[in-house]
Structures are given as structure tokens and as C-alpha cells.
């Protein structure tokens, strides 16, 4: 019994120790597990925290972020939902990346994704994204290979670049277009012309380059201001665009200069017709605000390959031809020829000489007598300007006045002529040559000149000439180009007592209604009508002259016939009541000393 108790007691002791050992181990294990659990928890928390941070960054990203895995979009951020116009009925998740790529960019996107899966570096492309509402938006897309939720995936970072692209397009437009008229600018024109010439070379075809310059644009700008000038350019551009064919190129070269490039015209004739239509379209009156403007244009044309092979050569020669067109009386089209180059050199010399023309002392005036048909007496003289150029010789006004009109030089020249002519006539009167009237030609550019009436006044005062002995000649085209200005200026001059004549009558667009409203003294019948007079009274020119004389008399104006060269012309004019004649029949224009001699020898009775 005692033995069994001992065994039992030892067994219990062993069991107790084993239990205690197990409890200790259990406690140790629990502690370890607890420690491990704690560590795992901390890691999980950290992971959760970093995922949250990532989610926040991705969510708040201004770029759209999308992830596609196994052919389906599985993740999109807020910006992506906005950019792709997600709505309750249309969601991005579940679609494929190609579903939101514009059809034209799908092949490229597929290719990029393929290379990424094969291990290529991330790729950035610019393409159009197709939004869920069907609209397209220009985007930059960066695609990269990533692991998402343990799966291989493609991450796309998409940025809307439509604003930048619009700006880029605007900049490109501004770089190639004229801001005022919207047609090509000088740079684009050059580029187009180079391309046209290369094409023409291959096809063996001609190219026409035309330089178009508006006539008297500067005067309109001076008179009405730049706003009206700008409006005028816009209207002219519209008219040109309307007349030209779609294949023709129109560009603004600067100021009032346009360039037209024609390619693939079958013949030179067709080209001429086109330029005729261009000129006709510009000649149509233009109304801006309440002003009706009459504008013409001069065109110079150079042809590839005959007149040049490069854009520079062709433009320079077209420009030279345009100047020739201006010189030959404006409002015409001139094709380039070799004489024009010579003319250009001459023109440059004239331009250079005009800079200090009054200081050079090379200008002088010739006087051409005007003789009364009734009395045979010399009633006056027309002052005709001359320039004795040291290299070019004696220049007629037609050779340099149009050039002087392009700058303000014409105003100082004009003032010089008025002053000198008044002084000369006053001096002749003092010398006993009689009371002569002097006719001075006014240029278009002088009319808007504010100081015109003060120039006239000071010339009259300093010479001591009576105002009614000064006769200002203006062409009817000039008068009609701005009737309001003409009326104002002429009235002011008339109030000073000065006489006013219409020069070259019958050659311009005369408006009889307006003629009546102007304070005129005389009409000068243009020499072309006088020179066309025939023996037959029923001939058209004869009828025109008869009508012009009657018209002038009905308006109570004196009539002067200019360019009278023959006795039969004089006879005809006398028969029909013309008042005065001027022309080689009496005398060519004379230097002052010769005029004075002419007056002394003049016998009135020989003319009656």
C-alpha cells in the first residue's frame, strides 16, 4: 500500500512537472505568438497606411490614372472619371483600354502595350482618347507595365493636352497668317512659292507671281485714319478671295501690298483675264461708314521660268513690273520685261534724289502760255515742273511726281511750286508783262494736307499776287476720290479768292452732280480729245468736245482746251465757243527767261 502510494505520488509529481513545463512552454509560445501577432499587425497597419497614402495620391492626381489587367480596366482615379466623362450609366471599369482610344490610334496603342509586356520601358505618346460620351480629346498617355493585385497589368497616366494643342495651333496660325486679313503672311507665301516652283519644275509648268498694290492707299489712310484703312484692306481681301480660284494663293506682303501665285493656268491669256477680273473687283466703289471710296490697284506679273527661277527673283521682278504699272498711270496690269529692270535702276536714283530735292536746287518751272481765243491775248500760263537731274538729265513730272507722292516729299515740292510760280508771275507783272494768271497743278497727296490753304495764303502774301490770279488745277479723278474732302478744301481755297480748275476733264469718272456742287472756275478738256479731233463734225471726238464745251458753259465755267497743236483744231474750238487754248500751236512750255521773251514778241491779232 505504502509502495503504491509512493508510485502514485511520484507519478503525480511527474505529471505536475510536465504540466508546469507545458504551461511554461504554452506561456512562452503565447508570448511569442503575441509578439509575432503584434509585429504582423504593425506591418499590416503600415501596409494599409501606405496603400491609403498611395490611393490618396492617385485619387488627387491631376492626371487621369487607369489600370488594365487581363484586358479589362480594373482601376480608375477621380480625374480619369472626369476626363473620360464617366456617368452612372457608362463606367470605365470593365472596358478595355482600346475602347477608350480613338480608332485612328488603336493600332499604335496595341503595339505599345505589346512591347511593354515584352519588357520594354514605359512609353509616352500623344493621341486622341475616345470619351464615354463619344467625343474625342487630345491627350498625352504614359503607359507602363505594373503588378496590380498580384496580376500583371498596364498602368496609363493620361493628361488632357487639348489647351496646349489649341495654343500650338494658334501660334502656328499666327506664324503663317496675316493677323488683319487672315490670308497667308510673307513667310507662308515664300514657303508656298518655293513649293509651287519645285512642283512646276517637275511638271514643266509655268507659275505666275503677281504683286498687287492698291493705288492711293496712303492718302486714304492719311485722310480717314488707320481704322478705315484696315477695313478697306479686309474688304479688298474678301474681293480678291472671291475672284481667285481655290488653287491660287493669296498673301499679304505688308501694308497695301498683296501677292498672288497662280499655278497650272493653261495659257497666258487666261492669266491676263484673271488679273482683269481682279482689277475690276477692286475698282467697284467701297463704302466704309458713310464714306464711298474709289480704289484702284496696280499689278506687276513675273512668270516662271522666263522671268526668274527663285522666289526672290520672281518677287523682285513682279515688284518692278508693278512699279512700272504705277508709273504708266496706275490702275493697270504690267507683265515683266527686260526694260523694267533699267527702269528700276532709274527709279532708285529718283528716289534717292528726292530725299533732299529742295536743297539740291535742281527743280525749275516751265511756263506754257494759255491764249484767249477771242482776244488772242495771253491770259495766263500753266506752271509745269521740271527736274534737271545730274545723271538722268531732264525729267518730266510724270517720271518723278508719282514717286514723290508715295512719301510726304510731294508736299514740300508742291509748296515750292506754288511759292515760286506766284513769285514769278508777280515779278513779270512788275516788269510790265501784264496781269497774268498762273495755273499750278495739285497732286492727290496734297489735298488731305491740312496746311494747303496756309501754304497758298503765305505764297500769295509774300509774292503780293492777287488771289484770283492763282488757279489751282486738280484732276477730276482726284476730286471724286473723296468728294467730302474736296468740297471742304476747295471751299476754303475759294474763300481765299483762289480759282480752281478741273484738269484732264473727260478722262476720269466725272460725276456731273458733284461738279455742280464744287466752287470751280474752269474746265480743261484733256488733250487726248483735242488730238482726236477730225474734219468730220459728226465724229465721236468732235461730238465729245462740243458737248464738253456746252457742259462747261452751262455750269458757267471757262473752257480751256489743252494740247492744241494745229490750226484746224483751233478753228474747230473757236467755232464751238471754247474760251482758251494751250498747246504747242502757241508755244511749248518755256523756261522763265524764254517765256518773258515770248510775251514780248506775242502778237494777239495773229491769234484772232
The residues binding ligand C2E (CB under 6 A) are: 368, 384-385, 396-398, 401, 417, 441-443, 503-504, 527, 562-565, 583-584, 589
- CA distances in angstroms from 380 to 490, 539, 604, listed in the order given: 21, 31, 13
User: Of the listed pieces 95-103, 370-378, 470-478, 577-585, which binds Ca ion according to CB under 5 A?
Assistant: 470-478
Say which entry of ligand C2E, Ca ion, none residue 419 contacts (CB below 5 to 8 A, set by partner kind).
none
Say which entry of Ca ion, ligand C2E, none residue 122 contacts (CB below 5 to 8 A, set by partner kind).
none
Identify the CA nearest to 579 among candidates 367, 428, 366, 380. Answer: 380
Pure H helices in 177-266: 186-203, 217-224, 226-243
* DSSP character at residue 131: P
Q: How far apart are CA 268 and CA 333, in angstroms?
A: 13
Q: Which is nearer to Ca ion, 127 or 503 (CB)?
A: 503
Q: How far is the CB of 504 from Ca ion (least distance, A)?
A: 4
Burial class (CB in 10 A: 0-12, 13-18, 19+), 450: exposed
Q: How far is the CB of 367 from Ca ion (least distance, A)?
A: 12
Q: Which is nearer to ligand C2E, 65 or 378 (CB)?
A: 378
Is the Cα dihedral 540, 542, 546, 549 positive or negative?
positive
Q: How far apart are CA 560 and CA 378, in angstroms?
A: 12
Q: How far apart are CA 184 and CA 507, in angstroms?
A: 37
- Name 532's Cβ contacts closer than 8 Å, sequence gap at least 6: 541
Say which entry of Ca ion, ligand C2E, none residue 385 contacts (CB below 5 to 8 A, set by partner kind).
ligand C2E
Say which entry of ligand C2E, Ca ion, none residue 370 contacts (CB below 5 to 8 A, set by partner kind).
none
Q: Three-state SS for 549?
A: helix
Q: How far is the CB of 378 from ligand C2E (least distance, A)?
A: 14
Question: Interface with Ca ion includes 503 (CB under 5 A)?
Answer: yes
Q: How far is the CB of 396 from ligand C2E (least distance, A)?
A: 4
Q: Which is nearer to Ca ion, 86 or 504 (CB)?
A: 504
Say which entry of ligand C2E, Ca ion, none residue 113 contacts (CB below 5 to 8 A, set by partner kind).
none
User: Of the listed pieces 31-39, 364-372, 500-508, 536-544, which binds Ca ion according to CB under 5 A?
Assistant: 500-508
Q: How far is the CB of 504 from ligand C2E (least distance, A)?
A: 6
Q: How far is the CB of 564 from Ca ion (least distance, A)?
A: 12
Say which entry of ligand C2E, Ca ion, none residue 451 contacts (CB below 5 to 8 A, set by partner kind).
none
Identify the CA nearest to 321 among candidates 255, 275, 370. Answer: 275
Q: Which is nearer to ligand C2E, 372 or 443 (CB)?
A: 443
- CA distances in angstroms from 357 to 349, 352, 366, 400, 578, listed in the order given: 12, 9, 17, 11, 39
Q: Which is nearer to ligand C2E, 63 or 562 (CB)?
A: 562
Say which entry of Ca ion, ligand C2E, none residue 182 contacts (CB below 5 to 8 A, set by partner kind).
none
Q: Which is nearer to ligand C2E, 58 or 456 (CB)?
A: 456
Binding mask 429-458 for Ca ion (x = CB under 5 A): ------------x-----------------
Beta strands in 13-150 (DSSP E): 64-69, 72-76, 123-130, 136-148
- Half-sphere CA count of 62, side-chain side, radius 13 A: 2
Q: Which is nearer to ligand C2E, 251 or 402 (CB)?
A: 402
Is the Cα dihedral 10, 12, 13, 14 positive or negative?
positive
User: Of the listed pieces 140-148, 430-438, 466-474, 550-558, which binds Ca ion according to CB under 5 A?
Assistant: 466-474
Q: How far is the CB of 502 from Ca ion (least distance, A)?
A: 10
Q: How far is the CB of 476 from ligand C2E (least distance, A)?
A: 12
Q: How far is the CB of 400 from Ca ion (least distance, A)?
A: 16
Q: How far apart are CA 313 and CA 299, in angstroms?
A: 17
Pure H helices in 118-207: 162-176, 186-203
- CA distances in angstroms from 364 to 387, 399, 450, listed in the order given: 6, 15, 25
Say which entry of Ca ion, ligand C2E, none residue 397 contacts (CB below 5 to 8 A, set by partner kind).
ligand C2E
Q: How far is the CB of 563 from ligand C2E (least distance, A)?
A: 4
Q: How far apart are CA 293 and CA 288, in angstroms?
A: 8
Q: Which is nearer to Ca ion, 476 or 504 (CB)?
A: 504
Say which entry of Ca ion, ligand C2E, none residue 236 contacts (CB below 5 to 8 A, set by partner kind).
none
Q: How far apart are CA 60 and CA 406, in angstroms?
A: 65
Q: How far apart are CA 111 and CA 411, in angstroms?
A: 73
Candidates 63, 178, 473, 476; binder of Ca ion (CB under 5 A) is: 473
Say which entry of Ca ion, ligand C2E, none residue 406 contacts (CB below 5 to 8 A, set by partner kind).
none
Q: How many CB atoms lie within 10 A of CB 536?
A: 9
Say which entry of Ca ion, ligand C2E, none residue 95 contacts (CB below 5 to 8 A, set by partner kind).
none
Q: Residue 483, Cα to own-chain centre: how many angstroms?
A: 26
Q: Which is nearer to ligand C2E, 38 or 398 (CB)?
A: 398
Pairing mode, strands 558-562 and 580-582 = parallel
Residue 407's beta-bridge partner residues?
none
Q: Which is nearer to ligand C2E, 384 or 518 (CB)?
A: 384
Say which entry of Ca ion, ligand C2E, none residue 302 contacts (CB below 5 to 8 A, set by partner kind).
none
Q: Which is nearer to ligand C2E, 297 or 417 (CB)?
A: 417
Pairing mode, strands 378-389 and 393-395 = antiparallel
Q: Which is nearer to ligand C2E, 38 or 451 (CB)?
A: 451
Q: How far apart are CA 273 and CA 252, in angstroms?
A: 22
Say which entry of ligand C2E, Ca ion, none residue 506 contacts (CB below 5 to 8 A, set by partner kind).
none
Which residues of this chain interact with Ca ion, rule CB under 5 A? 441, 473, 503-504
Amino acid at each position: 500500500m505504502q509502495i503504491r502510494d509512493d508510485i502514485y505520488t511520484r507519478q503525480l509529481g511527474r505529471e505536475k512537472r510536465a504540466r508546469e513545463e507545458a504551461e511554461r512552454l504554452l506561456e512562452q509560445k503565447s508570448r511569442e505568438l503575441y509578439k509575432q501577432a503584434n509585429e504582423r499587425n504593425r506591418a499590416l497597419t503600415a501596409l494599409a497606411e501606405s496603400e491609403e497614402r498611395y490611393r490618396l495620391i492617385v485619387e488627387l492626381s491631376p492626371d487621369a490614372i487607369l489600370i488594365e489587367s487581363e484586358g479589362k480596366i480594373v482601376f480608375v482615379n477621380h480625374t480619369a472619371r472626369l476626363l473620360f466623362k464617366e456617368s452612372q450609366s457608362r463606367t470605365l471599369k470593365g472596358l478595355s483600354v482600346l475602347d477608350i482610344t480613338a480608332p485612328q490610334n488603336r493600332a499604335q496603342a496595341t503595339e505599345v502595350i505589346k512591347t511593354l509586356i515584352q519588357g520594354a520601358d514605359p512609353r509616352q505618346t500623344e493621341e486622341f482618347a475616345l470619351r464615354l460620351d463619344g467625343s474625342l480629346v487630345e491627350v498625352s498617355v504614359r503607359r507602363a507595365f505594373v503588378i496590380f493585385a498580384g496580376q500583371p497589368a498596364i498602368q496609363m497616366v493620361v493628361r488632357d493636352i487639348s489647351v496646349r494643342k489649341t495654343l500650338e495651333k494658334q501660334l502656328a496660325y499666327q506664324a503663317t497668317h496675316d493677323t488683319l486679313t487672315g490670308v497667308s503672311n510673307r513667310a507662308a507665301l515664300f514657303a508656298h512659292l518655293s513649293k509651287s516652283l519645285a512642283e512646276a519644275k517637275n511638271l514643266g509648268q509655268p507659275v505666275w507671281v503677281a504683286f498687287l498694290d492698291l493705288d492711293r492707299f496712303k492718302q486714304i489712310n492719311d485722310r480717314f485714319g488707320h481704322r478705315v484703312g484696315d477695313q478697306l484692306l479686309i474688304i479688298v481681301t474678301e474681293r480678291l478671295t472671291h475672284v481667285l480660284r481655290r488653287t491660287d494663293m493669296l498673301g499679304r506682303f505688308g501694308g497695301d501690298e498683296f501677292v498672288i501665285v497662280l499655278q497650272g493656268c493653261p495659257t497666258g491669256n487666261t492669266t491676263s483675264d484673271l488679273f482683269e477680273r481682279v482689277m475690276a473687283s477692286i475698282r467697284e466703289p467701297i463704302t466704309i461708314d458713310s464714306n464711298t471710296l474709289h480704289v484702284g490697284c496696280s499689278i506687276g506679273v513675273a512668270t516662271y521660268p522666263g522671268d526668274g527661277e527663285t522666289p526672290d527673283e520672281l518677287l523682285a521682278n513682279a515688284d518692278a513690273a508693278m512699279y512700272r504699272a504705277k508709273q504708266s498711270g496706275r490702275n493697270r496690269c504690267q507683265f515683266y520685261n527686260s526694260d523694267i529692270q533699267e527702269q528700276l535702276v532709274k527709279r532708285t536714283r529718283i528716289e534717292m534724289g528726292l530725299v533732299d530735292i529742295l536743297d539740291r536746287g535742281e527743280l525749275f518751272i516751265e511756263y506754257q502760255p494759255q491764249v484767249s481765243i477771242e482776244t488772242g491775248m495771253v491770259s495766263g500760263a500753266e506752271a509745269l515742273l521740271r527736274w534737271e537731274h545730274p545723271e538722268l538729265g531732264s525729267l518730266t513730272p510724270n517720271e518723278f511726281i508719282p514717286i514723290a507722292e508715295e512719301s510726304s516729299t510731294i508736299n514740300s515740292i508742291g509748296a515750292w511750286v506754288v511759292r515760286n510760280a506766284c513769285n514769278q508771275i508777280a515779278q513779270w507783272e512788275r516788269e510790265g508783262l501784264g496781269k497774268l494768271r498762273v495755273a499750278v497743278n495739285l497732286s492727290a497727296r496734297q489735298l488731305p494736307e491740312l496746311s494747303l490753304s496756309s501754304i497758298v495764303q503765305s505764297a500769295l502774301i509774300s509774292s503780293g499776287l492777287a488771289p484770283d490770279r492763282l488757279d489751282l488745277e486738280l484732276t477730276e479723278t482726284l476730286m471724286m476720290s473723296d468728294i467730302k474732302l474736296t468740297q471742304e478744301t476747295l471751299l476754303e481755297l475759294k474763300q481765299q479768292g483762289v480759282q480752281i480748275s478741273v484738269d484732264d476733264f473727260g478722262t476720269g469718272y466725272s460725276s456731273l452732280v458733284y461738279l455742280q456742287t464744287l466752287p470751280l472756275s474752269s474746265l480743261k478738256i484733256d488733250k487726248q480729245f483735242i488730238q482726236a479731233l477730225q474734219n468730220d463734225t459728226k465724229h465721236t471726238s468732235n461730238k465729245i468736245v462740243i458737248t464738253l464745251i456746252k457742259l462747261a458753259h452751262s455750269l458757267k465755267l471757262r473752257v480751256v482746251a489743252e494740247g492744241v497743236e494745229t490750226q484746224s483744231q483751233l478753228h474747230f474750238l473757236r467755232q464751238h465757243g471754247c474760251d482758251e487754248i494751250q498747246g504747242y500751236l502757241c508755244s511749248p512750255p518755256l523756261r522763265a527767261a524764254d517765256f518773258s521773251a515770248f510775251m514780248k514778241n506775242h502778237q494777239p491779232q495773229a491769234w484772232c
